[in-house]
Amino acid sequence: MALRPVDGAGIAVAAARLRRGGLVAFPTETVYGLGADATDDRAVARIFEAKGRPHFNPLIVHAPDLAAHRAWAVFDDRALRLAEAFWPGALTLILKRTPDAPVSRLVSAGLDTVAVRVPDHPVAQALMRAAGCPVAAPSANRSGRLSPTEAGHVAASLGGAADLILDGGPCPGGLESTVLSLTGDGPVLLRPGLVSRDVIEAVVGEAVVGPVEAAGPAPPGTPPESPLESPLESPGLLAAHYAPRAPLRLDAGEAQEAGEALLAFGDAPASGYAAVRNLSPAGDLTEAAASLFRLLHELDALGPAAIAVSPVPEDGLGAAINDRLRRAAVRS
């Protein structure tokens, strides 16, 4: 595995690796992805091995533009409107596969749907155009761990499992894309992300429901800690996810035990903590999203007794930030 600074030669080498069935980690505007040629079953299978990812959890297919995606995904009017409004960008659409879609069935994990996204990052764009194939890519971390927002995070999490890592610096967004299913009657938000629900609703002109509301109430007897929260939920959204090694304590105020670290937001009081990082001293949610995984990685590396987290407001991007924090707080 090599860490390559990104220039034309680095892109050409990485594209050739992809075409030969290799695994290439690359930056996007959200987080780093671990890419493989989406048309190559063996290459896609290697992604699941490298991440230790369960095979029932499908992958996102990345392409440089909407036109390319139309070969394997069926776009109705609503999907076209969303693609035109948000691509390139941090919105992933779940659509029906076309008959004879030329992407591996493994990316869909046995479903008749496919997740599609056009990343808004010059390195991702250059890589996909040079490779000339759709790129299947989950976040470039071991399954269940924090998503990587820097090349160093990828190297630390995957070791030699990636054939090559393209180092494009820190990801500007810092949180994964929003995953929206358009396979039912109404749009269903499977994963909150960088594109927030209200801006999607403004484009489609209808309510976007969460997976739990779309599935109706849980059947009686469903244990509250059931890992899959509803049958409609994105198969990858296990409750325990994005886990740092240290336990997380949410909505924290004062320090509660010796050796606790604090992940603060805004002007939260920080006395009594062994280490403190602030998501955004100014209380800005975009800045907080961009620094969330980096600061969690940083605090976790200090080996604290626990990581306490100050409250983060739930509006706009706060919904996605709190979603990741709640998942990080669940111990598997």
Q: What is the 3-state secondary structure (H, E, C) of 50-91?
A: HHCCCCCCCCEEECCCHHHHCCCECCCHHHHHHHHHHCCCCE
Residue 177 touches Mg ion, criterion: CB under 5 A: no
Among 23, 44, 93, 137, binds ligand TXA (CB under 6 A): 137
What residues contact residue 249 under an 8 Å CB cut-off, 6+ apart? 256, 260, 306, 307, 308, 309, 329
Where does residue 19 rank: exposed (0-12), middle (13-18), buried (19+ CB within 10 A)? Answer: middle
**Interface characters, 130-149, with Mg ion (x: CB under 5 A):** ---------x----------
Contact segment (CB under 6 A) with ligand TXA among 24-32, 37-45, 206-214, 299-307 equals 24-32
Within positions 106 to 135, which residues make up the interface with ligand TXA, using CB under 6 A? Answer: 108, 111, 113-115, 117, 119
**CB-wise, 30 or 196, nearer to Mg ion?**
30
**CB-wise, 30 or 310, nearer to Mg ion?**
30
Element (H, E) at 296: helix 285-301
Contact 39, 133 (CB under 8 A): yes
Among 144, 172, 210, 235, binds ligand TXA (CB under 6 A): 235
CA distances from 116 to 70, 259, 307 (A): 10, 43, 34
**CB-wise, 139 or 291, nearer to Mg ion?**
139
**CB-wise, 92 or 104, nearer to ligand TXA?**
92
**CB-wise, 139 or 280, nearer to Mg ion?**
139
**CB-wise, 108 or 139, nearer to Mg ion?**
139
**CB-wise, 61 or 204, nearer to Mg ion?**
61
CA 330/CA 4 separation, integer angstroms: 35
Residue 139 touches ligand TXA, criterion: CB under 6 A: yes
Least distance CB 258 / ligand TXA (angstroms): 35
CA 162/CA 145 separation, integer angstroms: 16
Within positions 256 to 295, which residues make up the interface with ligand TXA, using CB under 6 A? Answer: none
Least distance CB 191 / ligand TXA (angstroms): 6
Give bridge partners of residue 135 from the DSSP assignment: 37, 62
Q: Cα dihedral angle (321, 326, 233, 149), rounded to 10 degrees?
A: 50
Backbone angle region of 327, left / alpha / beta, with phi > 0 → left and psi within -120 to 50 → alpha = alpha
And the tokens for 98?
Answer: 């076309």
Residue 92 touches Mg ion, criterion: CB under 5 A: no
Q: What share of the chain is helix, strand, coil (3-state, %, to 5)?
A: 30, 20, 50
Return the residue nearest ligand TXA (CB atom).
Answer: 236
CA 146/CA 140 separation, integer angstroms: 9
Least distance CB 248 / Mg ion (angstroms): 18
Residue ranges binding ligand TXA (CB under 6 A):
28, 30-31, 33, 57-60, 92, 94, 108, 111, 113-115, 117, 119, 137-139, 176-177, 179, 190-191, 234-237
Q: Which residues bind Mg ion (CB under 5 A)?
A: 139
